[in-house]
Amino acid sequence: MLSELLALVSARAGVDGAAWLDGACAGLSAGQGALAELFPAASRRVGRGPLGAASPREYWRVDDGARVALLLAASGREPTVTLAAARDLYFSGDAREKVGVLRALPWLDSDVAGDPAALATVLDAVRVNQGEIFEAALLDDGYGARHLPPHEFRKAVLKAVFLGLPLARIAGLAARADAELSASLLDYVHEREAAGRSVPVDLWAVAALHPPPGLVAKLVGLLEHPDSRHRAAAAHALRLAGDARARPFVADRAAREPDAAVAAALRT
């Protein structure tokens, strides 16, 4: 991971930026250099443009890659000390520094249950109202997706829905979803509809994993939605819900469906 990040940053940070990061990481790996001084300097040294990495790091910036590289270099020598230092850097840093710490947490903590210092960091991140920080904590390979306690994880997922973030970017969401989350998502739908507001189509598939009372009927009704995206999402969610009572309605809609892609989804 460290060598991959060094290569990505070097390709985009220019000669001086690449040399600075290589030297800083080498020093930290050897027990030299002050992480507390190097970490804040990353944005100025390497820039803030797109890193150009593949998923799940496609939303990273160049300074994200540099900061994660610095923490990885330090962690190779003193993992426990570095994880505690990362927490301190998060709480003392600006938004870009906070994001850098959050990007690094999945690579710094090997504890399946989650290190207390790392959990304290990510709990703060999912409660703030700054989108970039929240996204780094939860989306893609975010630490929070795996380690947040169940109640906090449900709240974070609902916040992602409220912010209009794609639920597909929450790694392992299907495995962590439960009946309480599904019920909360359906409550959110009712609130949105009562206010005359639209509902994100991607929440149906998550709610259908543990369908609360009334969800299947709601999905059957969505089969007649004028927007083909909602009809397709309803068809997919009904398959996940696995309620035999919906089959006649799905078959009827499939026979009438004008959109070929939706019709195929209904017949699958």
Considering the domain architecture, whether residues 172 and 192 belong to the same structural domain is answered as no
Rounded mean pLDDT, 10-24 = 94
What does the mean pLDDT of the chain come to? 93
Of 119, 142, 176, the residue at which a domain comes to its end is 176
Of 135, 155, 176, the residue at which a domain comes to its end is 176
CA distance 118 to 139: 16
Per-residue model confidence (pLDDT) at position 123: 96
| Residue 16 reports pLDDT greater than 80 | yes
CA distance 264 to 268: 6
pTM (predicted TM-score): 0.90
Considering the domain architecture, whether residues 146 and 237 belong to the same structural domain is answered as no
Rounded mean pLDDT, 113-130 = 90
Considering the domain architecture, whether residues 210 and 86 belong to the same structural domain is answered as no
Per-residue model confidence (pLDDT) at position 21: 96
Show the domain range for 230: 178-268
- Residue 114's pLDDT band, with cuts at 50, 70 and 90, is confident
Of 176, 203, 225, the residue at which a domain comes to its end is 176
- Residue 76's pLDDT band, with cuts at 50, 70 and 90, is confident
| Residue 79 reports pLDDT greater than 90 | no
Contact 202, 167 (CB under 8 A): yes
Considering the domain architecture, whether residues 129 and 187 belong to the same structural domain is answered as no
Considering the domain architecture, whether residues 125 and 29 belong to the same structural domain is answered as yes
Per-residue model confidence (pLDDT) at position 97: 97
CA distance 140 to 250: 33
